[in-house]
Chain A
């Protein structure tokens, strides 16, 4: 994937390995570019897995600070995406433990005040939102990382201490549950 900016000016994802290396070595401009490209994906991930909306901003900021703080310790620039999402997920779990909110994805979609909120609540995505709401938080997380972000099973499982086989089985089951939920909702229309 090209590391140059797209025609719209947005930075592309995943970032070029040269930029990742420069950021790791202390180039703050490169770090800003790399994390700036990852920021919208963080926001989308936290909304997509159904976090309470008032918590998303806090977790995003916390995750970004963790990445800035630990960037110099990234040993394998090739594994940047796995490293990025491992920090994102860890921060999410820490925040949820503090928050102790029940698993109610619909709480994420309060009143639309930001562009992403308006996207969430648009009719175009009502169906998929409703299907996701029928899944567990873990299923939503696995589906997002595998189907949206395209992480391989090793990247998804390695930071959690889960084997590749266990992650593969979990992802397969999550896919099945999403299909069933989707069909059930289509049938009820």
Chain B
């Protein structure tokens, strides 16, 4: 044996040991010390971040679930709260579309009076609001009421889209359709008897706030009454509209508090 294998082995080992740069050894040892001595401080921010992320996701999920609710639902106040926050933050916008969807949901549930009330309270277009008031005043029940409310909803959607698209022509046509809906209503709900001053389209100057158009100046616009002129029913029929087919809805007509009174029918 020319060379001793164990001497060869030791020379091999020494060369390997010397080949490792000292700087690298110091760096790797320092990293090991850092890794072992600082793990806890890293966990807390991760936990906090995870908690905040989880709350954020839950919030988003809650908003998403509440978004599909309608008046009368448990989550509806939550949905309106989120909308209020969005509006405060400047992230809100035209909510007509949402109100129309909610009104559609109410209609699907046969809650026609609630759907009309929602439209009166929240839609910006005075023609639609006036038509909704007129329908509430009209003596309609069952499928008649349902079809006229759905017609109004359909046209109201067109108006909303036309307004958003700034399409004046489409808007005018849609508003004309609304007036035809009102014209076709049974009884004295023809234009002029909805509380609008004759000749006006319902947009009384200075009186274009939702729910206010068509009201006689000085009327208080109470929630369950049109407050706008003579009702469609003759005396004796007041209160008879409670059978309008909507479940849980209040009578659409006539109370001594209505602005024109019940006795002004010609």
Contact = CB atoms under 8 A, between A and B. Distances in A.
B32 A10 contact: no
Given A61-B28, A64-B28, A183-B1, A48 B13 contact: yes
A181 B8 CA distance: 13
Contacts of B35: 65, 68
B9 A115 contact: no
Contact of A178 (B9, B17, B24): B9
Contacts, number: 113
A7 interface: no
A36, A127, A144 pick with most chain B CB within 10 angstroms: A36
Given A44-B13, A127-B8, A128-B8, A32 B22 contact: no
Interface in B9-24: 9-13, 15-22, 24
A55 to B, nearest CB: 15
Contact of A119 (B19, B21, B30, B31): B19
Contacts of A127: 3, 8
A181 B2 CA distance: 13
Contacts of A181: 5
A48 B12 CA distance: 8
A177 to B, nearest CB: 10
A96 interface: no
Range class of the B interface residue count? 20 to 34
Mostly helix, strand, loop or mixed at chain A's interface? helix
B19 A118 contact: yes
B5 A179 contact: yes
A111 B17 CA distance: 19
Contacts of B19: 40, 114-116, 118-119
Contact of B36 (A47, A68, A122, A124): A68
Contacts of A36: 22, 25-26, 29
B46 interface: no
A125 B12 contact: yes
A18 B54 CA distance: 51
Contacts of B5: 128, 131, 178-179, 181-182
B91 interface: no
Interface of A: 9-11, 28, 31-32, 35-37, 39-41, 43-44, 47-48, 60-61, 64-65, 67-69, 114-116, 118-120, 122, 124-125, 127-129, 131-132, 143-144, 147-148, 175, 178-179, 181-183, 186
22 contacts: A28-B33, A31-B29, A32-B33, A36-B29, A40-B17, A40-B22, A43-B20, A48-B12, A48-B13, A60-B28, A64-B28, A65-B32, A65-B35, A68-B37, A115-B20, A116-B16, A116-B20, A119-B19, A128-B5, A144-B9, A147-B10, A148-B13
Interface of B: 1-3, 5-6, 8-13, 15-22, 24-26, 28-33, 35-37
